[in-house]
Amino acid sequence: MTNKPFPVPGSRSGRCVLCPRMCGADRKKRPGTCGAGTEMEVSKIMLHHWEEPPVSGPDPTDKAHGSGAVFFTHCSLGCVYCQNGKISHEGASGTVYSPRRLAKEFIRLQASGAYNVNLVTPTHYADLLAETVKTARAHGLTVPVVWNTGGYERPETVEALTEAGTVDVWLTDFKYMDRDIALQYSFAGDYPERAMASLTRMVKGTGPCVFGEDGMMKRGVIIRHLVLPGRREDSAAVLRGIAKFVDVKSVRLSLMAQYTPDFLPPPAPDMPDPWQTIRRKVTTYEYEKVVEEAARLGFEGWTQERSSATKKFTPDF
């Protein structure tokens, strides 16, 4: 944690409560549950072309532009199928950046053609990133800042980031509505209520989506949902839950078909496989039924081709 504590209720003791794990770690002495210490670790900084069109641009072959992605190491979730697992929870270390040094990278990304600065899995560094964004803006950063999150947030952290003016676009997952599924796949049984409470605050903070003349998103909330094999009923429950608490016309929905079992741990010899039900890709039928439910509820946004279910869209860490 920084010497000047981030204004999240409960954080002034110096023990980390940035995410819902509320582990209370003194990160000067030991890592938090997320694996992070006191300094920001970054795995990769790049122009990224495979986000939603109003984030990375409409043309994935346009190498002169893209989303200015900053991939952080460590994560407060532990999703067993994570495509970024090498840097999120397998112990891979990144390059250490101070807020001032990372702010310079934000400016460099803007100069290289980035439509935005896209902070990927950033919550465990929220305090330092509020300082980083403030510094970058003082030195000429004008593109939007995207908070690219798994959705497992403390509402208090969301509100603190909103009050600090750190985030322009929330690019947030909403993974599960069933607590047992959340516990099984992400070791976070409280995920549904945490994600919903945070989402409502994100929408309240940004208001309806705002797009520039070029179609790029300037402000608002994009909700991502990854359809998992055998879990289409929970996917439908996620969409109904969001529609109950959020004006669906004020947000955009990205329904993803890109799930691949390639990132699951291999089954242990002579042991029951806890991930057997998700060791396959999503069927066309499963995905289309979720798309139908999204349309029935009035969501607007994007769908994916099932050909996206491959490793090739994952950055090489």
The answer to whether 169 and 211 are in contact (CB under 8 A) is: no
Selection from 172, 173, 110, 155 nearest residue 136 by Cα: 110
- Collapsed DSSP state (helix, strand, coil) of residue 234: helix
Predicted TM-score (pTM) of this structure: 0.92
Model confidence at 12, in pLDDT bands (50, 70, 90)?
A: very low
**Which pLDDT belongs to residue 13?**
53
Domains of the chain: 40-313 (3.20.20.70)
Angle, vertex CA 274, rays to CA 271 and CA 278, nearest 5: 130
The average pLDDT across 291-302 equals 97
List pLDDT tens digits, range 72-130.
Answer: 999 999 999 998 878 887 766 789 999 999 999 999 999 999 999 999 999 999 999 99
Neighbours of 292 (CB within 10 A): 11
**Average pLDDT value for the chain:** 91
**Which pLDDT belongs to residue 89?**
73
Radius of gyration of the chain (CA): 19
**Which pLDDT belongs to residue 1?**
38
Selection from 147, 196, 189 nearest residue 174 by Cα: 196
List pLDDT tens digits, range 146-156.
Answer: 999 999 999 99
Please check the confidence at residue 223 and state whether its pLDDT lies above 90: yes
Hey, what are 115's tokens?
A: 């439509």
Residue whose pair of structure tokens reads 């030195």 in the numeric block: 139
